[in-house]
Chain A
């Protein structure tokens, strides 16, 4: 029978917003006064749920609110959720960096996390010194590090520079050495926060490789990621966090499905009843808009990198012009424009017209996208523009080699190749 290695019970974490000032001292004294009289914290009542979409009125927010879950030995648990949902706070409490406000967390075994890569590296010290220092900070004894020292150096590939101060290292060498130390920890529970590891594809791949290693040895892994394909292919279970609460737990497939169909990256359709509700202005209105999957019989199916996608807008022209230009920019979740596209067409006043743009199959990379829409007259006089009219996610598909991290690039076109034999000259 598998055993629980982590049990989280009614966990709460309160954060104070705003500045530390004279007011803090008053609050502290007040809180202490309630405490010695055996009363509850007076500021707990005015603490509000962490919701980024609303302006927070209270000085206190709950970063975590009544979180309960259990992880079994050998599980690879995905933790998904949007930025600010409380994932990192949860990990911080797990790794004992900060304490909970209420509730408790029980752990069996040693925890190590790959978000600590390079922690405590001192630039003036040599690679050798830093291996020992960093290893000890991560919880190894000197003897343990000594026995793995050669392995660590070989893994890092910086043998020649091992007696050089790390401030002379290139950033790549630095990361490799740091990762080599972390990779030689042997924790019962490994935490991988992929969100913090973005930007270095090689590093990401190494993290994922280490994760597979650990889980194949029957140890437990907690994996935080925004990449649903990674979660789906690497994890067997997952939990979804929203506004500091654990909103759903289940198999990774269930949670990924839930994630993709909830919240801000799944505004695949907007539809307004009647012109008065539609977005726009006195000159032009957008009655509806949608992202449709054309590779499937059901246009609402999740989109993956092989899907053909239609972007549609139904507009009503109420301006004096009789030709319109409707266009959009496809933007990545980070806000970079991947490409823009537009089209001019006849638009008789007052009549709804559907404009449809076909994005071919095998073009988009996996990721989250938003649509920034703009409408001009044919003479390029701007009538209307709006950001985030639609948003959607493109999933990766399982490749033959298994999941190996995101493919580089803004787009991922499938291009024709051929090979032929040639004569030696």
Chain B
């Protein structure tokens, strides 16, 4: 073997632009320990120096549910599709807050971690991925609380609980929420590095989007154009399918779920491509 051929065995070549699909998944895999440690960090650090600690995981959705219960069920008297109002709101809140958390927390990943990113390299996707997986811990405990509230209704309120086979879809629903949150989040985070306007937009955008999703009202309460519009929201089929699986009341359509799945995969693809392009130069603009 000639000396020149040997010299050309570089482990890495740094060039200005990456190809659109030049995504280094193997590198991401190599950093899986870092993903685990970031998840651990977020969980450990979040409730340090609080008295209630991880109990806050539960208090936040509990209070939201109670507020919704009083305002929308007692005062506004909105329909809950025959489902006990507490259960209806809580399931909406728990699912929605997981989606919102994934979206909100990934959307400022670049700006929030600029000091780390400015000093050391690791695949930037590590952080949003850690956020999404870390959120699962919280989501899991909240889901457990939902089950407890459900049991409470079964035993003390004579609620007739009739789950159906669609309940097997729940892990898939969570996957859809995570993917949607992650991909929209990284698209937004890529945009905020240069234009901070986007973060203002997002802050109230997520809140508004909640009202455009069947969280506090069932899809069945809407009709006509409004219903079509709601079905365009990719989160709608997830929420409705969950309610269908748990309570038997809700809109279950494989086509609508398929729409969400395609939407999620496409945005994830777009998100990763954009993120990948931005991660190289964002330190200069952030």
Q: Name A residues whose Cβ lies closer than 8 Å to a Cβ of B.
A: 1, 3-4, 7, 15-16, 20, 24-25, 28, 92-110, 113, 115-116, 119-120, 122, 124-125, 129, 132-133, 136-139, 141-142, 165
Contact = CB atoms under 8 A, between A and B. Distances in A.
A151 to B, nearest CB: 19
B48 interface: yes
A133 B41 contact: yes
A92 B283 contact: yes
A141 B201 CA distance: 38
Contacts of B41: 122, 125, 129, 133
Given A107-B12, A124-B49, A142-B33, A137 B122 contact: yes
Nearest to A98: B283
Contact of A136 (B7, B9, B15, B37): B37
B76 interface: no
Contacts of B15: 99-100, 104
Interface of B: 3, 6-7, 9-17, 30-31, 33-34, 36-38, 40-41, 44-45, 48-49, 115-122, 194-195, 280-281, 283-285
Contacts of A95: 120-121
Looking at A99, A122, A124, the one whose CB has the most chain B CB atoms below 10 A away is: A99
Contacts of B283: 92, 97-98
Nearest to A142: B33
21 contacts: A7-B10, A20-B195, A28-B194, A92-B283, A97-B118, A97-B120, A99-B14, A100-B14, A100-B16, A104-B15, A104-B16, A106-B10, A106-B13, A107-B14, A124-B49, A125-B44, A129-B44, A133-B41, A137-B122, A141-B30, A142-B37
Contacts of B9: 108
B118 A96 contact: no
A119 B120 contact: yes
A97 B119 contact: yes
B31 to A, nearest CB: 8
A139 B44 CA distance: 22
Contacts of A98: 280-281, 283-284
A27 B119 CA distance: 28
Contacts of B12: 106-108
A97 B117 contact: yes
Contacts of B194: 20, 24, 28
A142 B11 contact: no
Contacts of B40: 129, 133
A94 B14 CA distance: 8
A201 B121 CA distance: 27
Contacts of B116: 119-120, 137
A132 B37 contact: yes
Nearest to B45: A124
Contact of A124 (B6, B37, B44): B44
Nearest to A100: B16
Given A3-B6, A20-B195, A25-B195, A139 B122 contact: yes
A116 B45 contact: no
B284 A119 contact: no
A117 B121 CA distance: 13
B8 to A, nearest CB: 9
Contacts of A3: 6-7
B34 A137 contact: yes
